[in-house]
Amino acid sequence: MKKLVFCLLTLLLPVAYMAANNDLSDKKEKGLTLLENKHDYGKIRKKDKVAVHEFKVRNDGDTPVAVVHISTGCHCVKGEYPKEPIRPGEEGVITIQYKTTNLGAFNKRIRVFTSADQRLILTIKGEVVK
């Protein structure tokens, strides 16, 4: 009797799992899509003090998604993001500012965290010259 119950469970559990996943497959993946994830500032003059670039994101899901935090890794990079959630089908802007304090080449990664448990990566690079 135990073998029969074990065999039935072994057969039914995968079927139940697949059925549950099929119900979810009709739903859109929720989250933000980066329309651009890299930007090259090229050569920036130190006297400009700040270089700015706007990264556009689009909500391709079916629920609103908010940017909840940006991690820049250094004080030379500052990020600003929409305070309100981005509605499905709409776009938002993440503004990245790089302070031109130090001369030379730079290559920075910025992590963007969303309410949809996403971690998006933005990359900026360039060279600060006199």
Amino acid at 115: S
Give the Cα separation of 103 and 130 in Å (integer): 7
CA distances from 6 to 9, 10, 15, 34 (A): 5, 6, 15, 47
pLDDT tens digits for range 32-67: 999 999 999 999 999 999 999 999 999 999 999 999
Amino acid 104: pLDDT: 96
Is residue 83's pLDDT more than 50? yes
> Strand, coil or helix: what is 47?
helix
Cβ contact 55:36 at 8 Å: yes
pLDDT tens digits for range 112-122: 999 999 999 99
- How many CB atoms neighbour CB 39 within 10 A? 17
Cα first-last separation, the chain = 83
Amino acid at 84: E
